[in-house]
């Protein structure tokens, strides 16, 4: 996606999804592929097959959160789980649903490191257990200028951080994805600086809108969406939402991130959704919501400005992109 020059941006990325799907199915049908097989090859089919292979499980005791975004149509399960960026499983939008089906997410350990009271490994289930699960419906805006509305299930990152008790000297928190080339075929291709890494300033991480997601649509998080646990920060471009987290490190230095390491001219640390600062190769002024035909205007901080703008008072957002 982000490494290609504008003329190479894929058809699937600039075409309304329905047209793209119909075109693919048409091409597959025209090539004489049986209808069932054609459906199984389309992203929709891949999402369905993936859900069956992984098994879908409901999460118990999920409470609806007042911090959810109201009044927007939620994208379909198939859109959310069949159109993904998870480069460890391939760079096409339907690669993660296909290639992450057998990804093993238990047992799973998160290592807590750096400027923190008690560093060390924590099993995922004891990591999540002390926290109540909340449903958070958020607008999500990808830097590639498409968007979705997703009903995440998660726990507030701020509550997790309070429990982990970072030292007063910690100014940032860094996250790392699993780096296992046996399970993640995309790691053999050096498209990014692996392992995938992301970071937040401590006040951003403590903001009530920042969550660690463990599910969506009331069910366990599908592998292609970052199982068993991933970051969700709705006022930032989607690439901040690091998936399948295995390390959390507290630090006093602004962390480098995979995208900024791969292309510092195009990707900065903050990655706040900002329609007035274009990506060097395309506009960020509008976006295509999956499932809609007409483009819509992109909102400052993805529409969460009332809640988060004060985090950036005095910061030049043109320089700190
Ligand atoms: N996390 C990892 N580990 N690897 C990735 O390639 N892609 C990012 C982000 N998290 C990515 C990742 C990008 S570019 C986006 S837009 C979101 O995941 C997509 O999340 P979704 O597939 O759940 O919609």
Has residue 158 got a pLDDT over 60? yes
- What would the 3-class secondary structure string for 184-223 be? CHHHHCCCCCCCCEEEEEHHHHHCCCCEEEEEECCEECCH
pTM as predicted: 0.88
The number of helices, as runs of H, and strands, as runs of E, in the chain is: 11, 13
Closest residue by Cα to atom 5, ligand 1, is: 86
Has residue 318 got a pLDDT over 60? yes
Task: Compute the mean pLDDT over every residue in the chain, rounded to the nearest whole number.
Answer: 89
pLDDT by residue (tens digit) across 194-210?
999 999 999 999 999 99
Domain boundary assignment for the chain: 58-312
Residue 147 β-bridge partners: 141, 289
Q: Which atom of ligand 1 is nearest to the CA of 150?
A: 24
pLDDT by residue (tens digit) across 272-287?
999 999 999 999 999 9
Contacts of 44 by beta carbon, 8 Å cutoff, 6+ apart = 21, 78, 82
Residues with CB under 6 A from ligand 1: 84-88, 142, 177, 196, 225-226, 238-239, 241-244
From 216, 233, 105, 223, select the one nearest 175 (Cα to Cα). 233
Please confirm whether the linkage preceding 320 is cis (ω < 30° from 0).
Answer: no
pLDDT by residue (tens digit) across 205-244?
999 999 999 999 999 999 999 999 999 999 999 999 999 9
Burial class (CB in 10 A: 0-12, 13-18, 19+), 131: middle
CATH architecture classification, 58-312: Alpha-Beta Complex (3.90)
Separation of alpha carbons 298 and 285, rounded Å:
5
Burial class (CB in 10 A: 0-12, 13-18, 19+), 150: buried
Q: Which atom of ligand 1 is nearest to the CA of 80?
A: 24
pLDDT of residue 53: 72
């Amino acid at each position: 996606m982000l490494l290609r020059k504008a003329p190479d941006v894929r058809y699937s990325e600039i075409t309304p999804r329905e047209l793209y799907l119909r075109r693919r199915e048409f091409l597959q049908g025209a090539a004489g592929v049986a209808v069932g097989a054609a459906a199984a090859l389309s992203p929709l089919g891949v999402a369905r097959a993936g859900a069956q292979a992984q098994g879908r499980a409901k999460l118990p005791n999920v409470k609806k959160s007042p911090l959810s975004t109201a009044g927007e149509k939620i994208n379909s399960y198939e859109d959310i789980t069949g159109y993904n960026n998870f480069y460890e499983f391939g760079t096409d939008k339907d690669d993660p649903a296909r290639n992450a089906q057998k990804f093993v997410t238990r047992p799973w350990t998160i290592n807590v490191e750096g400027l923190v009271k008690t560093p060390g490994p924590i099993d995922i289930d004891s990591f999540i257990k002390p926290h109540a699960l909340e449903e958070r419906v958020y607008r999500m805006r990808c830097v590639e200028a498409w968007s979705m509305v997703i009903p995440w299930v998660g726990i507030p990152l701020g509550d997790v951080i309070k429990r982990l008790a970072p030292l007063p000297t910690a100014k940032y928190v860094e996250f790392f994805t699993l780096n296992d080339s046996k399970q993640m075929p995309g790691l053999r291709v050096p498209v990014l600086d692996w392992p995938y890494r992301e970071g937040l300033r401590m006040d951003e991480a403590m903001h009530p809108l920042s969550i660690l997601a463990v599910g969506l649509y009331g069910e366990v998080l599908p592998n292609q969406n970052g199982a068993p646990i991933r970051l969700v920060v709705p006022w930032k471009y989607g690439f901040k939402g690091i998936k399948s987290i295995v390390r959390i490190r507290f630090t006093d230095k602004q962390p480098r991130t995979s995208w900024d390491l791969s292309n510092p001219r195009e990707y900065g640390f903050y990655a706040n959704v900002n329609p007035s600062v274009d990506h060097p190769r395309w506009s960020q002024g509008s976006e295509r919501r999956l499932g809609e035909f007409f483009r819509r205007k992109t909102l400052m901080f993805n529409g969460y400005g009332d809640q988060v703008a004060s985090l950036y008072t005095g910061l030049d957002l043109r320089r700190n992109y």
